[in-house]
């Protein structure tokens, strides 16, 4: 655990070797990486954390704060504790924060592996206005229902990522957990949409980058990830067959293999 004036930051590490920092997205904590980080800890020093308001990382985003700065500070605290160049593996909103960190603070990274980063802000400048509007329509409905006090407003996000009926397919305990974390997720969306990069800014990310999206994910996710790869200097795209946004839980062996291949590849 890392203790700061702004609150605690979750930090757990295992193994020896080059460091891999695992960054989860919304509704997730460092433990969500267990089925991937545990086998990799046999040859790497694996480090897990959580973003603000999840796991053991305290919420530090205040009403008047600059929320992306707060989230980057969380990751920077983890990198300071690691005290070495790291491979960073990040999912969803966590991957968007990782991109921001790479652009704005240029940490010592060996590589990036980004699993379905929520790069929806790239759709409009990338000429995908219709897809951008689809995402905004979903989030507008989500925020409207949340502000009206609808307890299951979060179903719109879960079904957007997993397909219609995904929320209803979950056991009641899982639904309750998601509903209890909705306020934090609303902050995540506000943080993400308050951050807009020009496509040219992505040229600053010069480390080898692997972007992975699922073949069963929606078109907005796939296209935003393709735009990201198109504008990162050393990026490649991988499609994970049969997966959607919740791939960490459904395709851990395939992701473990892809991460190991990417992090062990020559960097020259």
Residue 147 — very low, low, confident or very high, per pLDDT cuts 50/70/90?
very high
Q: Provide the 10 A C-beta neighbour count for residue 62.
A: 10
- The reported pLDDT for the residue numbered 64 is 72
- The reported pLDDT for the residue numbered 267 is 66
d(CA 68, CA 73): 8
pLDDT digits (tens, 9 = 90+) for 17-69: 999 999 999 999 999 999 999 999 999 999 999 999 999 999 999 877 689 99
pLDDT digits (tens, 9 = 90+) for 16-28: 999 999 999 999 9
Q: What is the mean pLDDT of residues 102-122?
A: 96
pTM over 0.85, yes/no: yes
- The reported pLDDT for the residue numbered 66 is 80
Does the pLDDT at position 142 exceed 90? yes
Does the pLDDT at position 268 exceed 60? no
Q: Provide the 10 A C-beta neighbour count for residue 131.
A: 20
Average pLDDT along the chain: 96
* Percent of the chain with pLDDT strictly greater than 90: 93
Does the pLDDT at position 171 exceed 80? yes
Q: Which residue has the tokens 């790869």?
A: 229
Q: What is the mean pLDDT of residues 189-197?
A: 85
- Going by C-beta distance under 8 Å and a sequence separation of 6 or more, which residues neighbour residue 261? none
- The reported pLDDT for the residue numbered 140 is 97
Q: What is the mean pLDDT of residues 209-218?
A: 98
Does the pLDDT at position 196 exceed 80? no
Reduce the secondary structure of the chain to three states and give it as a string: CEEECCEEECCEEECCCCEEEEECCCCCCHHHHHHHHHHHCCCCEEEECCCCCCCCCCCCCCCCCCHHHHHHHHHHHHHHHHCCCEEEEEEHHHHHHHHHHHHHCCCCEEEEEEECCCCHHHCCCCCCHHHHHHHHHHHHHHHHHHHCCCCCCCHHHHHHHHCCCHHHHCCHHHHHHHHHCHHHHHHHHHHHHCCCCCHHHHHHCCCCEEEEEECCCCHHHHHHHHHHHHHCCCEEEEEECCCCCCHHHHCHHHHHHHHHHHHHCCCC
Domains of the chain: 2-123+198-264 (3.40.50.1820), 129-189 (no CATH)
Does the pLDDT at position 104 exceed 80? yes
Does the pLDDT at position 258 exceed 60? yes
């Amino acid at each position: 655990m890392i203790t700061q004036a702004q609150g605690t930051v979750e930090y757990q590490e295992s193994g020896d070797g080059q460091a891999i920092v695992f960054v989860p997205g919304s509704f997730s904590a460092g433990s969500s990486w267990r089925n991937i980080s545990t086998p990799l800890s046999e040859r790497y020093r694996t480090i897990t954390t959580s973003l603000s308001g999840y796991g053991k990382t305290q919420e530090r985003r205040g009403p008047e704060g600059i929320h992306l700065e707060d989230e980057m500070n969380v990751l920077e605290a983890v990198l300071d504790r690691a005290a070495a160049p790291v491979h960073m593996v990040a999912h969803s909103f966590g991957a968007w924060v990782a991109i921001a960190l790479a652009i704005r603070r240029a940490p010592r990274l060996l590589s990036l592996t980004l699993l379905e980063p929520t790069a929806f802000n790239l759709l409009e400048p990338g000429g995908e206005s219709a897809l951008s509007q689809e995402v905004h329509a979903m989030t507008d409905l989500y925020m409207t229902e949340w502000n009206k006090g609808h307890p299951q407003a979060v179903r719109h996000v879960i079904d957007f990522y997993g397909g219609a009926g995904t929320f209803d397919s979950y056991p009641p305990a899982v639904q309750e957990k998601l509903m209890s974390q909705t306020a934090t997720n609303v902050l995540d969306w506000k943080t993400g949409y308050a951050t807009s990069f020009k496509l040219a800014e992505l040229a600053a990310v010069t480390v080898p980058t692997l972007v992975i999206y699922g073949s069963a994910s929606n078109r907005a996710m796939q296209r935003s990830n393709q735009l990201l790869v198109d504008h990162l200097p050393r990026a490649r795209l991988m499609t994970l067959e049969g997966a959607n946004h919740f791939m960490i839980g459904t395709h851990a062996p395939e992701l473990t293999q892809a991460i190991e291949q990417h992090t062990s590849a020559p960097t020259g």
